[in-house]
Structure 1
């Protein structure tokens, strides 16, 4: 399951960083001779690399964790860390740093009401109106930049579970978020859980109702450990089913931050001792497969299991395990 990000990152993301508004594209035909046809602007996400933010948790831990810190990771946005009156400025500051570096930023929207359905990362905004307003502020911060945005990890996977109280509203709120963020210029990937979260016979139908066709596509395996070939097969299955539902042209990304182990252990998924770093984050554009991403921050705890601390807390021990070190450092 996904978990809240480190409070340190929340503070560093805004400390001393005045927002800089990105300039929009030049008017059609700007710079061309009169009467010459306009040349369409090429989307920079197709040529730029992903943004490696020096304010991510691993970068604060020194050279011992450079193997993690040098990889691009997503900025998680939750209402607990970034309330309505701050989140737009936080997003502008982050996307401006990416623009100055000539790289593509990644964000995660993670604030839906009844988030995580009472588990380790429970919380979210108190109701639908508050969520729509908060997402509108995220969209305002995005406008003028061209980020990748993963929308609400696990929200679709949990749909229909007895412990989740807002099923029908959840799909409407997801649809609102996808539409708003896409209109602001983001490539929006609505989270589709992972291949081991079964049954998923009706998941394509739920994704359609939640507005997946209004965005770029789906994300899978966020904060989980399923191997890349299995996740690609799962994503391709969902996209085929969505085509049969009349939703075409979608693509997908897979979280590979912790799926490098050859033999995942079912049932042991909270700070598992066997997990390893997966394939490096990279935009790939291989058919419908857009990217391997590090959505989860390697080294951050999933909760109070297997020597972890509170969800989102950095632990040397957990990072060392992911790196395959035989002499792991202290726990959280």
Structure 2
């Protein structure tokens, strides 16, 4: 089968390259999925594989990709929840290939009426956004929410979910004014630049209250403004560190406002951890997903053999929504 591997040329610089690799049989609790579409994520730009070791199936080693949607074409001896022909989606390692082996505990059924491009765009964004907003951010109806880097894929998901789950104000930041209208169309009540002016904008939008939940993708550069914009008792959830990993913390402000600063990642989660996360997410979101109330903008679709162009497009930071690969 064809799969994207990370190769190193004579220069030693890593780059994605399509190869023919052997197709593995699924293990006892694994399902073999024919990939119909695969999502691209910023983690793919690190040009590493095996990001989530616990979510790596028994397929060939070193295959890129972190999420996909497709059709079940084989089942291990102990699989009970899925059968041939089922439409499924998952966050899993090795997704940028024609087929992938996935532990059945990581699989989700694609809701009726949802096309394969949408399904491939959902797993990582929905799982990350729900875990940040609800599990760690303890989002309550009527809360005010700030999403830093809201035009990222996880940011787009967080903006929509916050509104659908009852947030009063959803403030999204982006460095691109061109993307503000698109964020507002998806549910942001205010779209703005981050930086020194953000606290004043938040205070005005929330009538002096501040934000109760922050979903932050920027890291170090946004830490001070997140804390300044936060309400008493707010929860700041560090989802990404795109702008840097080390920043100073005003411990007096942290204590004065009784803030919770929570870090999240999938890299240290077990399969059972992820299965529990999926169950919590579907318990909250299944009616929204089945009812068509959530959608992810599809930015561009590339053929699997054009994976290098897909990487280049993502590196340009022009996208709004999901970049998809199709075998």
TM-score clears 0.5: no
- In proportion to residue count, which structure has more strand? 2
Q: TM-score, normalised by structure 2?
A: 0.29
